[in-house]
Amino acid sequence: MREYAYAKLNLTLDVGEKRPDGYHELRSVMTSASLCDVLTVEKAAAITLTCDRTDLPADGRNLAVKAAETFFAETGIAGGCHIHLEKRIPSEAGLGGGSSDAAAVLRALRTLYVPEMPLEELESIGAKVGSDVPYCVRGGTVLCEGRGERLTTLPEMPKCWYVIVKPRETFSTGKMYGAIDEQNAGSVPTTDLLIGELERGDLAEIAANMSNTFLEVVPAESDVFTIRTTLLRCGARNAMMSGSGSAVFGIFKTEQEARRACEEMQGNDRQVFLCESV
Ligand code: C5P
């Protein structure tokens, strides 16, 4: 069966205190974009994975495989699956590509093996695979708290277009959290303001209230800032880095403006994607 793994965008990301377990307390509004990986998952005796990109691991280091292993371990079902992954979402971009693949595998295995399992139970299995996986299991526009496992579904994003730009550089999530701790970095939390604007459905005000603590620890010479400035010049309602980066997304009201921005963004070894709210 086929499952789509959508990219996640962090509209806000307030990183709080480091907890005794080493994870950070988060408050983040996440939303889904139509940029997606495509997975086919079939029942099989063992867990195997093939991928259209040969540079990705096909073992337990791949979150799609880890998700399948965790699903069978947690449910006690003696089963397996073959996963084929068509990769579109860039890796190490803050777009949740690996987490979304993991979530797509969990949704497929639930359909194939235990359709009666409540979604909340699948989300809990997801939390054992990675912090962003419970959100990716649910999808849509969601307030994520705690380590990322406490979910509250919010009103959908008003219809809009996203231009997602991945610079050549990548940032390691672990190192970015480390930099926040070292520099004692913080940002003005805007999550509650943004939720209020989502309830009103005002795209310009939603965009105006985006924020991301990780932006405070991006090196000043990074292409992230050039991309952000260029997106704003092209008419984006606002532009923000997603997750721990390095991808930046701009929010556009019309497809025409977004297409024009895509042309402006080319070059510098960037990857540019045009997609819409889902
Ligand atoms: O849970 P996951 O494996 O996706 O997390 C990757 C790394 O990001 C963790 O090892 C941790 O260093 C950091 N992290 C964190 N606080 C979170 C989520 C992730 O410090 N809420």
Dihedral sign computed on CA atoms, order 67, 153, 40, 109: positive
pTM to 2 decimals? Answer: 0.97
Decide whether any atom of ligand 1 lies within 6 Å of the 147 Cβ: yes
Atom of ligand 1 nearest to the CA of 146: 21
Reported as a single tens digit per residue, the pLDDT across 200-241 is 999 999 999 999 999 999 999 999 999 999 999 999 999 999
Q: What is the pLDDT of residues 128-178, one digit of tens each?
A: 999 999 999 999 999 999 999 999 999 999 999 999 999 999 999 999 999
Whether the bond between 222 and the residue before it is cis, its omega within 30 degrees of 0, is no
Amino acid identity for residue 84 in this structure: H
173 lines ligand 1 (CB under 6 A): yes
Ligand 1 pocket residue status of 26, Cβ below 6 Å:
yes
- Catalytic positions: 8, 132
Predicted confidence band of residue 94 (pLDDT cuts 50, 70, 90): very high
Burial of 197 (0-12, 13-18, 19+ CB in 10 A): buried
27 neighbors 119 (Cβ within 8 angstroms): no
Amino acid 150: pLDDT = 98
| pLDDT range class, residue 9, cuts 50, 70, 90 | very high
Query: CA triplet 190, 195, 201: central angle to 5 degrees?
Result: 125
pLDDT at 210: 98
Instruction: Tell me the residue type at 70.
Output: T
DSSP 90: P
Angle at 31 between CA 12 and CA 174, to 5 degrees: 60
Name the residue among 134, 120, 149 with its Cα closest to residue 25: 149
Ligand 1 pocket residue status of 174, Cβ below 6 Å: yes
H or E segment to which residue 23 belongs: none
Q: Are 240 and 29 in contact (CB under 8 A)?
A: no
Atom of ligand 1 nearest to the CA of 26: 21
Mutate to test the pocket of ligand 1, among 18, 23, 99, 214 (most ligand atoms within 8 A of CB): 23
- The number of the ligand 1 atom at minimal distance from the alpha carbon of 148 is 21
Ligand 1 centroid – CA 123 distance (Å): 17
Give the type of residue at 8.
K
Cα Rg of the chain, angstroms: 18
How much is the pLDDT for 61?
95
The band of 100, judged by pLDDT with boundaries at 50, 70 and 90, is very high
Ligand 1, pocket-test mutation among 133, 173, 175, most atoms within 8 A of CB: 173
Distance CA 44, CA 142 (A): 33
C-alpha 63 chain-centroid distance: 13
What gap in Å lies between CA 43 and CA 32, rounded to an integer? 28
Tokens of 42: 């079939």
| Residue length of the chain | 278
CA of 52 to the centre of ligand 1 (A): 27
Ligand 1 pocket residue status of 107, Cβ below 6 Å: no
Cβ of residue 148 lying under 6 Å from some atom of ligand 1: yes
| 249: nearest Cα among 268, 267, 224 | 224
**Mean pLDDT of all residues in 85-102:** 98
97 alpha carbon to ligand 1 midpoint, in Å? 15
| Phi and psi based region of residue 268 (left: phi greater than 0; alpha: psi -120 to 50; beta: remaining) | left
Q: Count CA atoms within 13 Å of residue 179 on its CB side.
A: 14
Q: Which atom of ligand 1 is nearest to the CA of 178?
A: 12
List, for residues 30-83, the tens digit of each pLDDT value. 999 999 999 999 999 999 999 999 999 999 999 999 999 999 999 999 999 999
- Nearest-atom number in ligand 1 for the CA of 174 is 12
For ligand 1, atom 21: residue with the closest CA: 147
Q: Is the CB of 130 under 6 A from ligand 1?
A: yes
Q: In 10 A of CB 259, how many CB atoms?
A: 13
Question: What one-letter code names the amino acid at 135?
Answer: Y
Residue written as token pair 């989502």? 198
Residue 171, ligand 1, Cβ within 6 A: no
